[in-house]
């Protein structure tokens, strides 16, 4: 199989860059919409809780538009294994966040961190040790030390 020409590579990079810019701009619009629907009392600060999400959405949209006009160099699309790994990461992240209220913070984070370690090539024993260690570290930091409220689940932590 022959190598693609420089013009073909530049065209592919423009397509990938513009697709990325379109995703950023769509995300900015969705984020801005949800940011502007935040309800708050009249007595909150002058800008209110809508100011930061709206400003961030506008900034992200403008930067996405700039990238659309001048996409610059980018990497080629990943091979099938890279796409599967990215989709697995997103699925496990979403599942662990959604399950956190029912199974608790520590088990959900253990699953998430173990899965991420496996995606990066760690063995099962090492990924489980990593998952448990990170989950307990984050629970200790954000729970008892900083006084945050984390989902407890049936295990109580």
> 88 and 56 in one domain?
no
Domain-located, residue 21: yes
Residues 104 and 125 in one domain: yes
Higher-confidence residue of 32 and 8: namely 32
Residues 87, 135: one domain?
yes
| Assigned domain for 27 exists | yes
Exposure letters 113-144 (e unless 16+ CB within 10 A, then b): bbbbbbeeebeeeebbebbbebbeebbeeebe
Question: What pLDDT score was predicted for residue 58?
Answer: 96
Most confident of 1-10, 67-76, 136-145: 136-145
Cα gap 144→44, rounded to integer Å: 29
Cβ–Cβ under 8 Å, residues 157 and 103? no
Domain end call among 69, 101, 119: 69
Give the model's pLDDT for residue 44: 59
d(C-alpha 130, C-alpha 113), whole Å: 7
pLDDT at residue 14, rounded to an integer: 85
154 belongs to a structural domain: no
DSSP secondary structure string, 44-60?
S-SS-TTHHHHHHHHHH
Residue 156: inside a domain, yes or no? Answer: no
Residues 30-81 have pLDDT tens digits of: 999 988 887 776 655 666 677 888 899 999 999 999 999 988 777 777 789 8
Residue range of the domain that includes 47: 6-69
Q: How many domains does the chain have?
A: 2
The reported pLDDT for the residue numbered 141 is 92
Residue 2 has pLDDT above 70, yes or no: no
How confident is the model at residue 140, as a pLDDT?
92
With contact defined as beta carbons under 8 Å apart, do 68 and 39 qualify? Answer: no
Residue 106 has pLDDT above 90, yes or no: yes
């Amino acid at each position: 199989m022959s190598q693609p020409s420089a013009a073909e590579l530049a065209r592919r990079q423009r397509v990938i860059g513009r697709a990325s810019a379109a995703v950023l701009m769509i995300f900015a619009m969705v984020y801005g919409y949800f940011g502007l629907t935040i309800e708050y009392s009249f007595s909150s600060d002058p800008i209110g809780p809508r100011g930061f999400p709206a400003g961030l959405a506008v900034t992200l949209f403008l930067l996405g538009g700039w990238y659309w006009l001048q996409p610059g160099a980018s990497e080629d699309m990943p091979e099938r294994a890279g796409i599967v790994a990215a989709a697995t990461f997103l699925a496990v992240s979403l599942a662990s966040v959604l399950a956190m209220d029912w199974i608790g913070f520590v088990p959900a984070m253990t699953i998430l961190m173990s899965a991420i370690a496996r995606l990066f090539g760690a063995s099962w024993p090492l990924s489980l040790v990593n998952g448990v260690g990170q989950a307990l570290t984050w629970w200790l930091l954000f729970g008892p030390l900083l006084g945050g409220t984390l989902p407890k689940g049936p295990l109580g932590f």
